[in-house]
Amino acid sequence: MGWGQGKDIRNRLTAVNEHGTDVITLRHIARKMSISHSNIQYYFKNADDIIATIYSNHLKELNKEVSFPDDHQYSLFDMLRSVEIIFAHIYQYRFIYTDPISFARRIPQVRNNHNERYRFRSKQLVNISDHLREKVIFRKDIPTPVWESLIKQIYTIGDFWISANEFINEHKGETVIRAFTNLVQNMLYPYLTAKGVTTEITFSYHNIK
């Protein structure tokens, strides 16, 4: 039946994204999915079990969508496009990111998966930035601690832009994805060389089109 597949569950849980998970129970989820309460209980003890499964599959899907071979020659376009893809994917699972701290405290698996993802993505971003410095896209005069700080800033935005949008903008769909992709893009601007700025402008033109 594919209960472990996040897509199967996600596609039928529009109400969770719209209203959050505080009021969501197994019975509510079963009704939304047009199945019996006893059927869903066979697979999950409670709603947190479903959230943990959805989050785990969300990360697996994300890793497939944003992956590069070991010998890939990274470009700034790759980096910015990856941010855009990640934000678009996070938006599909935005109910998790509306209050990620609550989930992390309540569901250990969510915290563990998040920390594993953080280590993996941080290492990937370090590799990309190193490569782009060698290609004279990023400046070489920026100290390593500053680069590490920038990577943490990007990751922090990735974790909390959904909740920030709820407070500040209340944008929807592609509008909010593009707005926060542009925010990360603007954060990178001071670190670019003249060559990097040309690439950045090309990415902006691609988005406008």
pLDDT of residue 21: 62
Residues 153-192 have pLDDT tens digits of 998 999 999 989 988 877 888 899 999 999 998 999 999 9
DSSP annotation of 33: T
Comparing C-alpha atoms, which of 194, 195, 197, 176 is closest to residue 186?
197
The CATH number covering residue 120 comes to 1.10.357.10
Mean pLDDT of 97-110: 86
Q: Per the domain annotation, does 182 fall within a domain? A: yes
The answer, yes or no, to whether residue 105 has pLDDT greater than 80, is: yes
Total tally of structural domains belonging to the chain: 1
Q: What is the pLDDT of residue 6?
A: 47
Answer yes or no: is 203 within a domain. Answer: yes
pLDDT given for residue 121 in this prediction: 83
According to the model, what pLDDT value does residue 10 have? 53
For residue 192, the SS3 value is: strand
Domain-embedded: residue 183: yes
Range of the domain at 55: 47-208
- Look at residue 180 and tell me if it is in a domain: yes
Query: How many CA atoms lie less than 13 Å away from 74 in the CB half-sphere?
Result: 25
Interior/surface letters 99-115, b for 16+ CB within 10 angstroms, e for the rest: bbeebbeebebbeebbe
Q: Examine residue 112 and state whether it is found in any structural domain, yes or no.
A: yes
C-alpha separations of 182 from 15, 21, 43, 88 in Å:
28, 29, 41, 13
Using a pLDDT cut of 70, give the percent of the chain over it.
82
Assigned token pair, 93:
């699972």
Q: Looking at the domain assignment, is residue 1 inside a domain? A: no
Specify whether the CB–CB gap between 147 and 123 falls below 8 A: no
In a domain, 75, yes or no: yes
Is there a domain that residue 27 lies in? no
- Average the pLDDT over each of 14-23, 46-55, 80-89, 129-138 and give the range with the smallest value: 14-23
Q: What is the DSSP letter of 25?
A: -
